[in-house]
Amino acid sequence: MRFALRPVRALGQASTFRAPTHLSTRCYSSVTSNGHRSPPLAGITVVSLEQAIAAPFCTRQLADLGARVIKVERPCVGDFARQYDDRVNGMSSHFVWTNRSKESLALDLKDRNDHAVLMRLLGQADVLVQNLAPGASARLGLSHDVLKEKHPSLIVCDISGYGQDGPYRDKKAYDLLIQSEAGMLSVTGTGTEPVKVGISIADIAAGMYAYTNILSALLQRGKDGQGCRIDISMLESMVEWMSFPMYYAFDGAAGPVPAGASHAAIYPYGPFEASDGQIMLGIQNEREWAKFCSHVLCQPDLTSDSRFSNNTFRSKNRDELKAVIDDTFSRLTAAETIARLEVASIANANLNDMHGVWKHAQLEARDRWVDIQTPTGAVQALLPPGSTKSADQGGYEAQMGSVPEVGEHNKAILAELGLTEKND
């Protein structure tokens, strides 16, 4: 692109926290038109060089809290996650999920003029998030070491598969591969073959740790005016989530074995067959075990059976116990089984598919669905956990904005930066 300069004015929603003189305990307590308090991150501007899931999931959480998120994409094609599938009115399910409430700025960062636009934009930003290949951001002059000289209060968050250094730094990292490296595949499935978790759990873990670290960095900056660098790796995020099976295998002990939908260390805990379908249940302690025996199985003497006297023995002898449970459940419908479990206050659940989740009675009763706009029409989206629709609860209303087209906001953002686009 070619640009003509105009007098520079501040980016429309740049944070008042940018200069140390404004770094105080100032609280955004203004009330919106519908009676809610302003979202917690109102006034914060995030620039993100993002693709796939981890970084977009992080920045969508920030957008939900009211931050202005400017998503820098490649001209024409944009984030490659846009092409993952076409299940949402022709749009990608992954992209719609992770990219609402964002502005799309299409830039070719190998082009000198486009790169200059980004650098000017960062002068008005609070946070830079990027999940380019390790080393790529540094080659573009976007490392924290370079940026902190001109922008000492800028928070720079780097997200990668294995971190920005170490022997695995340049190794390609996709969600399945990180699940494998982190040991997740060793504890999922049925034992006959490795089975990955059915969602992008390593990406989600990295995105959430990036999100919480950015929130912490904003709080810290409020104290001393200084930005920082945040280095998030998918591997470290996933290994943190694997801490239970790691400690279970402490000091060379055998690790948990894949247990399908059951729990590797607690029993009974998982799926069981009634006469007309599956239900899920979980026993967490001896009090619940006694109530399960008396009120659900109608066999109170089981509590004194040495094979099942505590969780260690129940887990060890799970095949024998399963036969006892199946014998009772086979004479009950799923509804009858759940009714008994409810009376006994035993945790249970339906085995829902995605259609069941879309129609979940609890989500409907709590009014958790809202419509958001996309380039191909409105779709439903789940309100973020913790947000509220009720102004009298003192909370905030989540920002639930549109999913953008590639480069949709170029003209407006360039104007805010004092630039006008010229056609060659």
Alpha-carbon torsion 173, 176, 182, 186, what sign? Answer: negative
Judge whether 102 and 409 are in contact, CB under 8 Å: no
Q: What is the pLDDT of residue 154?
A: 97
Q: What is the pLDDT of residue 255?
A: 85
Q: Which residue's structure tokens are 């948990």? A: 256
Judge whether 206 and 159 are in contact, CB under 8 Å: yes
SS3 283: coil
Instruction: Dump pLDDT digits (tens) for 90-111.
Output: 999 999 999 999 999 999 999 9
Give me the residues paired with residue 382 across strands. Answer: 369
**Candidate CATH numbers 3.40.50.2030, 3.30.1540.10, 3.40.190.10, 3.90.1300.10; the one for domain 269-351:** 3.30.1540.10
Instruction: Dump pLDDT digits (tens) for 293-306.
Output: 999 999 999 999 99
Q: Kindly list the strands in the beta sheet with 229-233, ordered across the sheet, starting from the edge strand earlier in the chain.
A: 102-106, 68-73, 45-49, 127-130, 155-160, 229-233
Confidence check: pLDDT of 21 > 50: no
Half-sphere exposure of 312 (CA within 13 A, CB side): 0
Q: What is the fold of 2-241+371-422?
A: Rossmann fold (3.40.50)
Exposure class string for 43-69: b at 16+ Cβ within 10 A, else e: bbbbbbbbbbbbbbbbbbbbbbbbbbb
Phi and psi at residue 185, to the nearest 5°:
-65, -20
**Both tokens assigned to 38:** 């302003």
* Type of residue found at 198: G
SS3 71: strand
Phi and psi at residue 233, to the nearest 5°:
-115, 140
Judge whether 7 and 423 are in contact, CB under 8 Å: no
pLDDT > 90 in the chain, percent: 75
Strand pairing category for 68-73 and 155-160: unpaired
**Both tokens assigned to 43:** 């006034």
Instruction: Dump pLDDT digits (tens) for 316-326.
Output: 999 999 999 99
Judge whether 344 and 292 are in contact, CB under 8 Å: yes
- pLDDT grade for 30, boundaries at 50, 70 and 90: low
Over range 260-288, report the average pLDDT: 90
Interhelix angle 234-241/201-224, rounded to 10 degrees, is 100
Q: How far is the C-alpha of 411 from the C-alpha of 408, rounded, in Å?
A: 8
Radius of gyration of the chain (CA): 26
Judge whether 102 and 69 are in contact, CB under 8 Å: yes
Domain residue ranges in the chain: 2-241+371-422, 269-351
Instruction: Dump pLDDT digits (tens) for 54-89.
Output: 999 999 999 999 999 999 999 999 999 999 999 999
